Chain A
Amino acid sequence: MSGAGFESLKALIVEDNAHMRSLLRALLNSIGIKEIAEAAHGQAAIDSLRERKSDLVLSDMAMKPMDGLEFTRHVRNHEHSPNPFVPIIMITGHTEKHRVEQARDAGVTEFLAKPITAHNLFARIAEIVERPRAFVRCDSYFGPDRRRRMIDDYAGPWRRKEDFQDMDVR
């Protein structure tokens, strides 16, 4: 089977572990992505994005000198960012709730916990292909809409203008 939609894509892998970079490259190759750049940390990834277009980014979280969170914030918010909308899948062994929230608030598109499996990686890519998300821009955030689904009996705080359309708002 041909790679169809994937064959023309360019990907960027941002990961300080050479074995993990190699594995991710091999998994992307297996779906037909051949043009893959690699960077060992966030700053090198920014340089790579400036030099070469990327359609998909897979990024580790814990790296030095620039980690995956700072890299993501730069991609989303920097005035000279070559593509603030590029899908970013954050792949990390740091899976605690506050880490996931940090990644979400930095503007990642998908979060993938290590150890990775082909099934889980492909599921995240499928999510990006099948259900691209709206982006939100407000004073404190720019990135994919952090709301994954609507809940009819939601009891949490109301934060968005659209939430108030059917209410008496003052």
Chain B
Amino acid sequence: MTKQAPAEAQFIEPDAYPQMMSQQAAAGAMKVLRSAQTALKAQVAIEAHVPPMRAAILQYVEELEEASSDMRSVFEKVHEIRGFAETAGLVTTGRIADILCRYMDDMYRIGKPMDTMIVKLHVSAIARAARAEDDDVKMGEVVAAELAALVARRLTDAERP
């Protein structure tokens, strides 16, 4: 087999550069990472952050609604919402934000203009889901599924030559 040899790369093995911790300390660290006590502490930490994160999501939603014709701003805000809506317990909000993120990313990737109607539908659905009480979650899931189907159809159309 004949191939052109690539330029030489230098490999630096883990024992040849400073590690985060010694092997002895690593054994103790792994026990901590795998302990039930750590999992409980982490769960308590996350739960303590839910109320302020929910408030922040609502603030982002307001900014998202205000930015609805500025696609760059919508892109940034909706990625923020996708980033921590689920951590704040707003699963449906996160799911709809995820659909819009994917739509916008794909349209940027293929170099086609956004359909403002699609964006506005998502922004409206995100706002409603974020502000909804828990008993509206089922309706939010139905809306999310319909929006996902709509985006899939539009992306298929957009990718046709």
A residues contacting B by CB (< 8 A) are 1-6, 8-9, 17, 19-20, 22-23, 26-27, 29-32, 55-56, 62, 83, 85, 87, 92-94, 96, 98, 114-119, 122, 125-126, 128-130, 132-139, 145, 158-162, 164, 167-170
Q: Which of A31, A56, A168 contacts B20 (CB 8 A)?
A: A56
Q: How many residues of B contact A (CB 8 A)?
A: 59
Q: Which of B1, B12, B82 contacts A137 (CB 8 A)?
A: B12
Alpha-carbon gap, A120 to B34, bound state (A): 12
Whether A118 contacts B39 in the complex (CB less than 8 A), given A19-B56, A137-B9, comes out as: yes
Whether A145 contacts B11 in the complex (CB less than 8 A), given A6-B32, A27-B42, A30-B42, comes out as: yes
- Contact B30 A129, beta carbon cutoff 8 Å: yes
- Contact A134 B3, beta carbon cutoff 8 Å: no
- Does B48 sit at the interface, judged by CB under 8 A? yes
Chain B residue with the shortest CB-CB distance to A166:
B1
- Contact A26 B49, beta carbon cutoff 8 Å: yes
- Contact B84 A17, beta carbon cutoff 8 Å: yes
- Contact A31 B53, beta carbon cutoff 8 Å: no
Our count of residue pairs bridging A and B at CB distance below 8 angstroms stands at 173
What 4 new A-B contacts, CB under 8 Å, besides A125-B33, A135-B12, A161-B9?
A: A5-B21, A5-B22, A96-B105, A130-B30
Query: 13 A-B pairs, CB-CB below 8 angstroms?
Result: A5-B32, A6-B21, A23-B84, A55-B20, A56-B20, A115-B82, A116-B87, A118-B42, A122-B38, A129-B26, A129-B30, A132-B20, A138-B8
- Does B152 sit at the interface, judged by CB under 8 A? no
